[in-house]
Amino acid sequence: MTQDELKALVGQAALAYVVPGSIVGVGTGSTVNCFIDALATMKDQIAGAVSSSIKSTERLKAHGIPVLDSNEVTAIPVYIDGADEIDHHGYMVKGGGAALTREKIVADLAERFICIADESKLVDVMGAFPLPVEVIPMAASQVIRRFASQYGGQASIRAGVTTDNGNVIVDVRGLQISDPLAMENEVNQWPGVVTVGIFGHHKARVCLLGTSQGVRTLNF
């Protein structure tokens, strides 16, 4: 199966985790687009969605799915989103679509994070995918220097990208994220960092992994 077919497969499989009558947390990215398209087939059975990006909001609304502001919602049963990397403990690197901060906000509302991904995203140790960090522009050079001195990472500003919050994305290469929780705690304290794209405190509870043999379910 092609990567697009695997994405469609897990997007469809994620419908099983949608609680009828509830509000659904919806992430960002190409795999999530497949989920949104599948969600449209049961839009009359849900109360609406909370979205993590402008692009996802536009796609949900195009399907006639009501989108609620996160400030109007106190809790949601599930948040369904993809990942750039996920390890065997459910920790993830996210932010390839530059929506990591809003994704973390919606994930924080959710009782469970359901990750949908193709099998290429499952890794033993995260870091091969450049780690995204949302940074207030005036702090970008400081953050880049600090990654070099503290972690030996090679960081650079992602060209031509401004987040939905008006900030830049710094991508960090050359890392081995052996302790995701510790790195998330540390980097989030640096002045100017809005959030780092390590989802340790908001890890996946379930991963629906698209494989050539079908959908593989991982529970964490």
Distance between CA atoms of 11 and 5, rounded to whole angstroms? 10
Residue 3 has a pLDDT of 85
> Does position 52 have pLDDT exceeding 90, yes or no?
yes
The string of DSSP codes covering 61-120 is HHTT--EE-GGG-S-EEEEEE--SEE-TTS-EE--TTS-HHHHHHHHHHEEEEEEEEEGG
Report CA-CA distances (Å) from 5 to 31, 42, 115, 209, 215.
Answer: 10, 21, 17, 12, 11
Which of residues 6 and 17 earns the better pLDDT score? 17
Please tell me the number of Cα atoms within 13 Å of 59 on its side-chain side.
22
**Contact, 10 vs 36, CB < 8 A?**
no
Cα separation values, 74 from 26, 106, 121, 198, 201, Å: 15, 10, 31, 24, 19
Return the pLDDT at 42: 96
Mean pLDDT of 22-35: 96
Residue range 70-116, pLDDT digits in tens: 999 999 999 999 999 999 999 999 999 999 999 999 999 999 999 99
Residue 167: pLDDT over 90: yes
Pairing of strands 110-118, 67-68: unpaired
Domains by residue range for the chain, with CATH: 3-123+201-219 (3.40.50.1360), 131-196 (3.30.70.260)
Q: What is the largest CA-CA distance in the chain?
A: 53
| 181 has pLDDT over 90 | yes
Mean pLDDT of 184-199: 98
Instruction: Tell me the pLDDT of the chain averaged across its residues.
Output: 97
Annotated binding-site residues for substrate read: 28-31, 81-84, 94-97, 121
According to the model, what pLDDT value does residue 9 have? 94
pLDDT of residue 174: 98
Binding residues: 28-31, 81-84, 94-97, 121
Q: Flag whether pLDDT at 2 surpasses 90.
A: no
What would the two tokens of residue 67 be? 């989108």
Please say if 103 is a catalytic residue. yes
Residue 8's H or E segment, with its range, is helix 3-13
Q: Is the pLDDT of residue 40 over 90?
A: yes
pLDDT value for 4: 87
Q: Which of 85, 103, 134, 184 is catalytic?
A: 103
Instruction: Give the mean model confidence (pLDDT) for residues 158-185.
Output: 98
Average pLDDT of the segment spanning 172-193: 98
What pTM, to 2 d.p., does this model score? 0.94
